[in-house]
Amino acid sequence: MRAQDFVEPPPIDPDRPAGSLRVLTYNVRRCLGLDGAYSTERIARVIARTGAEIVALQELDLGRARSGGVDQAAEIGAALGMDMFFHPAMTVLEERYGDAILSAPGVRLVKAAAISEGPARWSREPRGALWAEATVDGAAVQIVTTHFGLWRGERRAQAETMLGPEWLGHPDCRSPIVLLGDFNSVPTSRAYKRLAARLRDVQNARPQVDARTYPTRRPLLRIDHIFVSEEVEVRGLWAVRNPEARIASDHLPLCADLRVPTPG
């Protein structure tokens, strides 16, 4: 195995500065690996190796026949000992499909809602978002995650929704802010540029890092992103590549070490 084929964050330093936080975003593709096997246990192991304290997951099944009818977010959260907030972007009878935030205890959910609803000229599939508030060494940090659509028009509309008064533009969504997820948007796209005009892409603080996450076997595209408000310090960034991550999903996890200002 070549050195560049094995990339993951180091263990968390117990003496790291106050306000430090490790976050991760991961499109798990309903926990369906490239070997054709569904495994929440494998996804949990990939996440556990990173030591991430806030985890945003996309494309999770709940009660769907194709993945054995399990609650994937709950199983992953239980394996990691984390609290779990799940939002079903799509519901068909008893089957649900959507996104989640996993965290250590003490994080509260502020909002979980659709960002595109019903058939429209630019909407191909329902999409949603979650907003939670974490307290990091006395500082309230707003954590927002979403999963944008596959078409340019819907991604532009979803970016405007996220920037609007119900989400990032809400008076309670005060800095420091972390926005992360699968945006299906490369840095040259209009949707990405709209978000990057409001928040800072962590990649810009670590330009030497190869943050491409898709597709897993040969990552060519940077479509999973972590954005932060200006006062958040970026201390590390990794597109996680190890033998298990390279088969667990069609996306690699994207992980960042951050530091937010703390009281005093």
Tens of pLDDT along 186-216?
Answer: 999 999 999 999 999 999 999 999 999 999 9
Local confidence band at 240 (pLDDT 50, 70, 90 cut-offs): very high
Q: Are strands 177-182 and 139-147 parallel, antiparallel or unpaired?
A: parallel
Q: What is the predicted pLDDT for the residue at 1?
A: 44
Cα(125)–Cα(91) distance, integer angstroms: 11
| Model confidence pLDDT, tens digit, residues 114-135 | 997 544 555 568 899 999 999 9
Give Dmax (Cα) for the chain: 52
Average pLDDT, the chain: 94
Cα(27)–Cα(241) distance, integer angstroms: 14
Domain spans in the chain, listed from the N-terminal domain onward: 19-259
Whether the predicted pLDDT of 174 surpasses 60: yes
Whether the predicted pLDDT of 235 surpasses 70: yes
Fill in the DSSP letter of residue 17: P
pTM of the model: 0.95
Preceding peptide of 263 cis, ω within 30°: no
Cα(204)–Cα(206) distance, integer angstroms: 5
Could you tell me the fold of the domain covering 19-259? Deoxyribonuclease I; Chain A (3.60.10)
Q: What is the predicted pLDDT for the residue at 4?
A: 59
| Model confidence pLDDT, tens digit, residues 101-112 | 999 998 999 999
